[in-house]
Structures are given as structure tokens and as C-alpha cells.
Structure 1
Amino acid sequence: MKNRTIKAVCAAAALSALAVAPLTTAVAEEVRVPVMSQAERGAQENLPRTGMSQSSVRNGWGNPIRTSGPVGNPPISQWHYTDFVVYFEADRVIHAVLKPSR
């Protein structure tokens, strides 16, 4: 009986502590990132288009400076050129991204 009373007192103390605990609020910091003129530069640059094969990219832009991957399933790889990076899923371009201008 004594053990049950101690458990009840502990439970009541825990509940009352929660009742008087201050409510926490979420705080978010706004981060502003300058928007690069990616779309404008992309329109001016000759970049590989979505759906192109790796052989077409190699024929049009030459050998990449560096490659990485493939990683994951589906396999994603990257070909790095001087001004842009081409992302492939298997053998096809899924995206080409300009590197930040210096």
C-alpha cells in the first residue's frame, strides 16, 4: 500500500510540474539567399538538355573535368565541367546546373 501511495504522489507531482511549466514556442530564423541569375545565365549558356544520353553530352561538350557516382538507386552520377555540372540518372541527363560565376 505504501509503494502505491508513493507512485501516486510521484505521478501527481510530475503532472503538476507539466501544468506549470512554461510553454515553449518555436522560433525560426529567416535566411535570405541572393538569387543568382541562374535562369538568365542558363538561357545564354549552351547546356545539356534533359533526356540527352551520356554519349551525346560527351560528343557536344567533351570529356568532363571530373565525374562522381553513380550513387543510389536509381543510379545518379555527376559530370563536372568548367562552368556547369550535369546530373545523370543512369545514362540520361536529368539536370544541368551552372556553377556560381566568379
Structure 2
Amino acid sequence: MSIVRGFLFALLALVLASLPATADVLLIDGSPVVVKMGEQPTRGMHERTVLARFGEPEARHPAVGEPPISRWDYNGYSVIFEGPFVLHTVVRGERPDAR
């Protein structure tokens, strides 16, 4: 019975992992405003995928700490990585479409 339960748990985890990931970007200037970008790097995306979809970043900041946290800056937003995987996407500065 425990083998079947383990198999069902693994199957459930696989199904949940394959669901599409979505992300919102939060701008804070007084009161929070959630900005939906067209396409953006999402949590868990590998850095190779980010490079393939969004191109070379304007700047790469070296990893610090343990686990290693690094940042890539693109035009108007930054992508924060934990190791090789996206942790967050953060909008920098004022965005005209945020209002």
C-alpha cells in the first residue's frame, strides 16, 4: 500500500510541476501596484532559458552568499537568481504602463 501511495504522491507532484507558472511584478511607490508584463522570466526558470528567451542582460551581478544569489539587469527590470534558477523578477524605476 505504501508503494502505491508513494507512486500517487510522485504522480501528483509531477502534474503540479507541469502546470504553467505565472508571475506578477510588484511596484511600490506609496501604495503597491501590481504590473502584469507581457512575458517575463518566471520563478524556477533556468538561466539558460532566460538567455534564450530574453537575450543577454545589460549587466550581470556576481553571486553572493549561500545559497548563491545573483542578479541580471534588463531594460526596466531585474531577474534575481538562486543558483541557476529564477527566484524573482523585479521592475526597476517608474513604468508608464503601471498607472
* TM-score tier (shorter): 0.5 to 0.7
List, as ranges, runs of 4+ consecutive aligned residues in structure 1 with deviation greater than 4 Å.
none
Decide which of 49, 53, 61 is 1:60's aligned counterpart.
Answer: 53
CA distance in 1, matches of 2:46, 2:64: 18
How far the C-alpha of 1:64 sits from its partner, in A, is: 0.3
Decide which of 64, 70, 94 is 2:87's aligned counterpart.
Answer: 94
User: Over alpha carbons, which structure has the higher Rg?
Assistant: 1
**What's the % identity of the aligned pairs?**
31
CA distance in 2, matches of 1:97, 1:44: 11
The CA RMSD over aligned residues, in Å, is 1.5
Q: Which amino acid letter does the alignment assign opposite residue 73 of structure 1?
A: E
Q: Deviations over 1:48-89 (max 9, x none)?
A: 000000000001100000011210100000000011100000
Q: Which amino acid letter does the alignment assign opposite residue 35 of structure 1?
A: S
- Name structure 1 gaps, 5 residues minimum: 1-32
How far the C-alpha of 1:35 sits from its partner, in A, is: 2.3
Decide which of 73, 77, 82 is 1:80's aligned counterpart.
Answer: 73
Secondary structure (helix, strand or coil) at the match of 2:31 reads coil
What TM-score results when the alignment is normalised by the length of structure 1?
Answer: 0.60
1:51 partnered with 2:47: no
